[in-house]
Structure 1
Amino acid sequence: MYEHICGPGCNHGPATPEAEAEVREEFKVARRSFLRDALAVGGATVSAASLNVAMTPSAFAQSAAKPGSGLTSHYYIPASAGTVLWGYFSKSAKPVVEVESGDFVTIETLTHHANDDAERMIKGDPGAESVFHWDAKKKGVNRRGAGAMDAKVGAGGGEGVHICTGPVRIKGAEPGDILEVRIVDVATRPSANPAYKGRAFGSNAAAWWGFHYGDTITEPKKREVITIYEVDATGERNWARAVYNFKWTPQTDPFGVVHPTIDYPGVPVDHRTITKNENVLKNIRIPVRPHFGTMGVAPVEAEMVNSIPPNYTGGNIDNWRIGKGATVYYPVAVPGAMFSVGDPHASQGDSELCGTAIECSLTGTFQLILHKKASLPGTPLAELKYPLLETQDEWLLHGFSYANYLAELGPNAQNDIYSKSSVDKALRDAYHKMRHFLMTTQGLGEDEAISLMSIAVDFGITQVVDGNWGVHAVVKKSIFPARGG
């Protein structure tokens, strides 16, 4: 069994065929039991080609194996109380592991909504149980958010809600560099409860932060409704179905704090206090498109940054296209980049209108490639100061109400952003970024870029629920001439 436990600096040469077969299996099914209790595992060296990983080379960057060897290392990071930051990015948090450019990292991610139905999404799962543990004496992860530790609602104040696995430090990364993140594979995390073998589950909360809230036609006008969805964990079925829904009722957490609304992440829902409606969305098949709502590197502007509003270093972008086969480029803002990922979704529509997606735990495999600042001039990655998403057929730019709200809104930015967002501002930012992209990467003049944007670029609403609202701009690669070798 490929249970190689050592630090990232150890070197035991090329992996055996048996080890490579085990890695291939890990890439395929992302077994949660693999070294669950280890903080991070590395050191075995494998050939990327030997993994049979289907990767389309990115248009902007060459494949980056370690110089001269063609070999990369593969790390596995299980989700546990010791490997996550709940609700924030941090430039100074202790990294879970340090990797080199070109390395692969398989990372488990947990949805912060798992306690909406703990029987289906937590029970029997040691990693999830360690993160969500909460009794009268302690929580498995005490801080939940970037707020005050003595906040009445709970430590961290819920000023940030996503369970972010990491951070992963990239050796040699410095401000001004670009981190390329290739999403090699995404696998659903199955329920560990034997009663639900072969199935996975997710939660959709139509909550107070949703765009719809209060603008409803049935009473009560201000209500929060949770819908639990079932996903086929074997991958044989590409659609999800609703299982039941219920209205949120005031929940008393194990510390005795009452939560009249969904005001703090991970509050256990006492199912004795709710009424389940199992006659919901009958015969409706929801397309499954697994992706990561929150992924990025740490900003420099603050020690701890709320995970909810997206920003120039990525974060909670909530674009369903950030899934298997996609590549995202992030500007590095702090030494080591400090990459984290979380907020896994089984599916989501553009806008994420009611406040959440199908929040469903996933495991992803990523290749992390560093592009040094000195190598960027004259390349399409030069001057990149925003997250750029690349799929097989498209490039996508993400505009926000504020391109860098932490810098633009001053010392109280993490609170002020929620009252200042607008789709108009996000569309303006998306326009500016797409104009920059077309002029710098395709050599177009401004008038050419403006004309092309109007006739060949699609602008869509990414999300209107994350404080810093988002609009994405999509352009097809096929409209441009092929690049020379």
Structure 2
Amino acid sequence: MTNLLQPGRVPISGDVYLPAEPGEVSWGLLPNAVSPPVRRVVSGTAVCLDTISHEGLLEDQGRDPAAFFAAAGIDVVLDDAAELARSGTHDPLLHGPHVVTGPIEVEGALPGDVLEVEILELRRRAPYGVISNRHGKGALPGEMPLAPDGWDPAVPVPPVCTIATVEGGRGAIAVGDGRRLTFPLREFLGIMGVAPATDRPVHSVPPGPHGGNLDVGPLGVGARLFLPVQVSGAMFYAGDPHFAMGDGEVALTAFEAPLRATLRLTLHSDAATRSLAAALAAPYADTGAEHLLLGLDEDLDEAVRKATRSALALLGARYGLPMPIALAYLSAAAHLHVSQVVDIVKGVHFAVPKPTLESL
């Protein structure tokens, strides 16, 4: 496996290129209100940025991606991933696992504005990645991963890291008995966000009004994510790249693997957009075919309520639907998905079909 999209290697699209070098990324913490930008751009700029998957770099994997993947028969790794693993800038007791590229300052962005992130292109940087299940995490903490025979119950069970590969345009994992499971690829960035209005460290795992670790699978090429700006300059960042993820992400991670992303950053400061963002108080998205309204809360039931309220608010503000009619439409035609249940703050997204609405 030698087909790697190394830093700086073409193709590079967009107006600005941002590599995932140690000085351009943060490992385990998200940018906050006092983080200095690594780039400054104007609204409408298409930014091409490299992202690094944390899988293969972490302490419970040996902090040596070359050795970790060599054990699975993979003999080449990305240069930027190997350099980051050697950097000594990650403390698993204090930091989350994710690597984010940025932050990028958008000139003129002010709190209350909305930053639109249009996903123009996602290129796979490697033909392999990892799906992990770790002790005390995932949808079945305490049950999975299974303890090896004779394992001391006082000792945490080691993580189970399943290597996934790209074969014939599909994802593939070995069963272990000669058979292979394959599945469709659906690339997206699990983390896209703006800096929250705090000078305290921001852990990379829980998502929030700033976006962050949203893990919303439909945010692939063609989708647009809308992030309520929290601080001047917005301070956008992205990371946690995936080649595929099932709704729920129940193991803890899905097909985690590095991407080169080209994203157009557009600032909206008009009154209607600011008013809608204030009413929703959370990121929202548009896939072209559907509106996506997000609900985020540690309690899954409350996350559902938040997503439903946001969907009602959008249908009222944008299409003038009375609330009882809007609720009936959601119940008859929209789909509520569990985005993920593994990021401390759980996420759901309401997928609201647009064609009927836009014919009103």
Check whether TM > 0.5. yes
Q: Report what 1:203 is aligned to.
A: 130
- 2:132·2:162 contact (CA, 8 Å) conserved in 1? yes
Q: Report what 2:37 is aligned to.
A: 95
- 1:88·1:305 contact (CA, 8 Å) conserved in 2? yes
Indicate how the Cα distance of structure 1 residues 130 and 434 shifts in structure 2: closer, same or farther if over 3 A, else same.
same
Distance in 1, Cα, partners of 2:206 & 2:102: 18
1:80 aligns with 2:21: yes
Q: CA deviation at 1:31?
A: 4.9
Report the aligned-residue RMSD: 2.7
Q: Report what 2:341 is aligned to.
A: 464
Q: CA deviation at 1:223?
A: 5.7
Q: CA deviation at 1:317?
A: 0.8
Indicate how the Cα distance of structure 1 residues 93 and 216 shifts in structure 2: closer, same or farther if over 3 A, else same.
closer
Q: CA deviation at 1:34?
A: 2.1
Q: Report what 2:53 is aligned to.
A: 111
Alignment of 1:140-179 (within 5 A): 140-142=87-89, 144=90, 154=91, 157-179=93-115
Q: Report what 1:449 is aligned to.
A: 326
Distance in 2, Cα, partners of 1:122 & 1:336: 41
CA displacement 1:114-137 (0-9 Å, x = unmatched): 33453548955322222111xxxx
Q: Report what 2:312 is aligned to.
A: 435
Distance in 2, Cα, partners of 1:85 & 1:217: 29
Alignment of 1:171-320 (within 5 A): 171-190=107-126, 200-208=127-135, 209-215=137-143, 220=148, 224-232=159-167, 237-243=168-174, 278-279=176-177, 282-320=179-217
- 1:230·1:243 contact (CA, 8 Å) conserved in 2? no
Distance in 2, Cα, partners of 1:384 & 1:122: 47
TM-score when normalising by structure 1: 0.65
**Partner SS for 2:181:** coil
Distance in 1, Cα, partners of 2:280 & 2:145: 45
- 1:114·1:122 contact (CA, 8 Å) conserved in 2? no
**Partner SS for 1:449:** helix
**Partner SS for 1:479:** helix
Indicate how the Cα distance of structure 1 residues 452 and 324 shifts in structure 2: closer, same or farther if over 3 A, else same.
same
**Partner SS for 1:111:** coil
Q: Report what 2:80 is aligned to.
A: 127
CA displacement 1:318-337 (0-9 Å, x = unmatched): 11111111110000000110
What are structure 1's unaligned runs of at least 5 residues? 1-28, 42-50, 52-72, 134-139, 145-153, 191-199, 245-277, 402-420
Distance in 2, Cα, partners of 1:374 & 1:444: 20
Counterpart of 1:397 in structure 2: which amino acid?
Answer: L
Q: CA deviation at 1:374?
A: 4.6
**Partner SS for 1:211:** coil
Indicate how the Cα distance of structure 1 residues 428 and 382 shifts in structure 2: closer, same or farther if over 3 A, else same.
closer
Name which structure has the greater RCO, CA cutoff 8 Å, separation 6+. Answer: 2
What are structure 2's unaligned runs of at least 5 residues? none
**Partner SS for 1:365:** strand
Tell me whether 202-211 or 122-131 shows the greater mean CA deviation: 122-131
What count of residue pairs does the alignment treat as equivalent? Answer: 337
Counterpart of 1:468 in structure 2: which amino acid?
Answer: V
Distance in 1, Cα, partners of 2:98 & 2:328: 39
Q: CA deviation at 1:178?
A: 0.5
Q: CA deviation at 1:373?
A: 4.5
Distance in 2, Cα, partners of 1:314 & 1:206: 24
Decide which of 221, 241, 247 is 1:324's aligned counterpart.
Answer: 221
Q: CA deviation at 1:471?
A: 1.2
- 1:35·1:78 contact (CA, 8 Å) conserved in 2? no
Distance in 1, Cα, partners of 2:296 & 2:184: 27
TM-score when normalising by structure 2: 0.86
Q: CA deviation at 1:302?
A: 4.2
Distance in 1, Cα, partners of 2:165 & 2:146: 27
- 1:30·1:187 contact (CA, 8 Å) conserved in 2? no
Distance in 2, Cα, partners of 1:376 & 1:435: 16
Distance in 2, Cα, partners of 1:166 & 1:217: 34
